[in-house]
Amino acid sequence: MVKISDIIRGQDLFGDKKRKAKGRNQKDEVVISGILAADDIINDMISPSLRGPTNIEKKEALSILSGVSGSLDKMFSSIRKGKEFDIAPLKTQAKKLVKSFEKFENIYMIQIYNDYEDVSLTPKYNSLWTALIAIMIGSVLGLEREELTELALSALTHDVGMGLIDEDILNKKTDLLRSEIREIETHPEKGSELLKKFGDDYGYLFEVCAQEHEREDGSGYPNGLGAKDIHQYAKIISLADTYEAMTHDRPFRKRMLPLYAIKDIVENMKHKFNKNILKAFLEKVTLFPVGSYAKLNSKEVGRVIASTGETHFRQVVNILYGSDGKKLKTPRVVNLMEAPLLHIVEPVDEREF
Ligand SMILES: [Fe+2]
């Protein structure tokens, strides 16, 4: 469980350290592919209770994500072409995400962390990752299965209005003009108009879509609504969407590492989000997800290969670089719960290597 003290500890340690990121080739269209294959090799080196998911589980989980991504693709491409789109396939996908969440939560969270380079033409991955983070929060809040499905569907459709925004603006690699920002800020209203046609059964969808950029302290848009007037799903999605955006690349900037994003949210944005929702998020979010790189107090750098489920600063790490910064000929796996003198001090961007 994330403790606020852990986050505060992180703040003290990191200060204003600059993180440079070397560019890497942009990924191809399909970003959802098998991940962590190499981990199968090192899985054998981890005690059975800490081992990651099996290949079969990964395949099943990734195929669910691919299905959702495919439905989102269809939705956005229909909107771009001015065609009607059907909500039923997305509802089916939302149900699948919720149903599989408990079983595959770890795989989903690892995938969200690792697919940070996607800067696709449509916000489909943002919608997918936002839905998963929203389900994570909703589960901690104790929402019922039916409510979680509504929440997931709301998240999958929260940015439908982006399908009506000029793609040149969405993909612009430099600062946006004021007029371009205004154009983007029309997407909640445009999106909710698109969702209205699904009728009263889906009333929550257009309400949430219209409110996803409203904020608890009244600082959001388009209407500057206050806490009392914002739908609960919109409150959850606004936090999930913010965290997703911060921890993933965008055409004009690189991502932040999870710890820095969480630090920023807690330090600078906490009044914008509902307190209980923020608390639920902090209970579950992972500071050093499996797949991420981290520096230890010994100055060695390694990759987190398994979660101990204990304090964030003590995971199972495959140490790849020695304290002199040189790549080790033989990496070594350390369970930091069993190495009292070692702990993680900061996250490292793998693009630095
Ligand atoms: Fe949005």
| pLDDT of 21 above 50 | no
User: Which residue has tokens 């000929």?
Assistant: 329
CA of 191 to the centre of ligand 1 (A): 9
Same domain, 216 and 321: no
Q: How many CA atoms lie within 13 A of 67 on its CB side?
A: 16
Question: What average pLDDT does range 325-348 have in this prediction?
Answer: 92
- In this prediction, residues 225-245 reach a mean pLDDT of 97
* Shared domain check, 301 and 332: yes
As a whole number, the mean pLDDT across the chain is 85
Q: Which pLDDT score is estimated for 301?
A: 96
pLDDT of 119: 61
Report residue 113's pLDDT band, with 50, 70 and 90 as the boundaries: confident
Query: Does one domain contain both 234 and 279?
Result: yes
Ligand 1 centroid distance, CA of 102 (Å): 27
Same domain, 38 and 187: yes
Same domain membership, residue 265 and residue 148: yes
Of 252, 287, 322, which one is at a domain's C-terminal end?
287
State the DSSP H helix or E strand holding residue 14, giving kind and residue range, or none if neither.
Answer: helix 4-14
- Measured CA to CA, the distance from residue 131 to residue 124 in angstroms comes to 11
Per-residue confidence (pLDDT) for residue 135, from 0 to 100? 98
Give the integer Cα–Cα distance in Å for 53 and 34: 12
Judged by average pLDDT, the poorest of 1-10, 91-100, 257-266 is: 1-10
On whether both 281 and 166 belong to a single domain, the answer is: yes
Element of type H or E holding 304? strand 301-306
Centroid of ligand 1 to alpha carbon of 28 (angstroms) = 24
Mean of the pLDDT values across residues 70-83?
Answer: 94
Which tokens sit at 317?
Answer: 């790490």
Does the pLDDT at position 50 exceed 80? no
Residues 282 and 336 both lie in one domain: no
- pLDDT over 80 at 175, yes or no: yes
**How many angstroms is it from 245 CA to the middle of ligand 1?**
10
Q: How far is the CA of 87 from the centre of ligand 1 (A)?
A: 19
Question: Both 194 and 306 in a single domain?
Answer: no
CATH number of residue 56's parent domain:
1.10.3210.10
DSSP-derived pairing of the beta strands 316-321 and 301-306: antiparallel
> Side chain identity at 303, as an amino acid letter?
R
CA of 185 to the centre of ligand 1 (A): 8
CA of 243 to the centre of ligand 1 (A): 12
Q: How many angstroms separate the alpha carbon of residue 27 from the centre of ligand 1? A: 23
pLDDT number for residue 17: 30
Q: How many angstroms does the Cα of residue 126 sit away from the middle of ligand 1?
A: 9
Identify the weakest region by mean pLDDT among 36-40, 48-52, 105-109, 264-268: 36-40
Confidence band, pLDDT 50/70/90 cuts, at residue 146: very high
Average of per-residue pLDDT across 155-167: 95
What's the gap in Å between 187 CA and the centre of ligand 1?
7
Residues 135 and 240 in one domain: yes
CA of 209 to the centre of ligand 1 (A): 8
Is the pLDDT at 24 greater than 60, yes or no?
Answer: no
> What is the domain range of residue 309?
288-353
Ligand 1 centroid to Cα of residue 123, in Å, is 9
Strand order in the sheet with 301-306: 327-335, 316-321, 301-306, 293-296, 344-348
Same domain, 302 and 221: no
Instruction: Please tell me the distance between residue 172's alpha carbon and the centre of ligand 1 in angstroms.
Output: 17
The answer to whether the CB of 222 falls within 8 A of the CB of 191 is no
Q: Residue 22 Cα, ligand 1 centroid: separation in angstroms?
A: 28
Q: What angle do CA 339, 104, 247 make, to 5 degrees?
A: 70
Q: With 70 as the cut, is the pLDDT of residue 39 above it?
A: no
Distance from the alpha carbon of residue 159 to the mean position of ligand 1, in angstroms: 5
Tokens of 116: 């940070």
Q: What is the pTM of this model?
A: 0.86
pLDDT for 233 equals: 98
For residue 6, pLDDT over 50 is answered with no
Same domain membership, residue 312 and residue 220: no
Sign of CA dihedral 111, 259, 99, 48: positive
Ligand 1 center to residue 96 CA distance, Å? 23
Residues with Cβ within 8 Å of 350's Cβ and at least 6 positions away in sequence, in order, are 292, 293, 303
Which whole number is the average pLDDT over 48-61? 78
The confidence band for 269, taking pLDDT boundaries of 50, 70 and 90, is: very high
Shared-domain flag, residues 77 and 56: yes
- Domain count for the chain, please give it: 2
Domain boundary among 256, 287, 318: 287
Nearest to 7 by CA among 255, 263, 227, 205: 263
Q: What are the tokens at 343?
A: 């702990």
Q: Which of 38-42, 107-111, 191-195 has the lowest mean pLDDT?
A: 38-42
Q: Which residues contact 207 (CB under 8 A, 6 or more apart)?
A: 192, 231, 234
- Last residue in a domain, options 287, 306, 341: 287
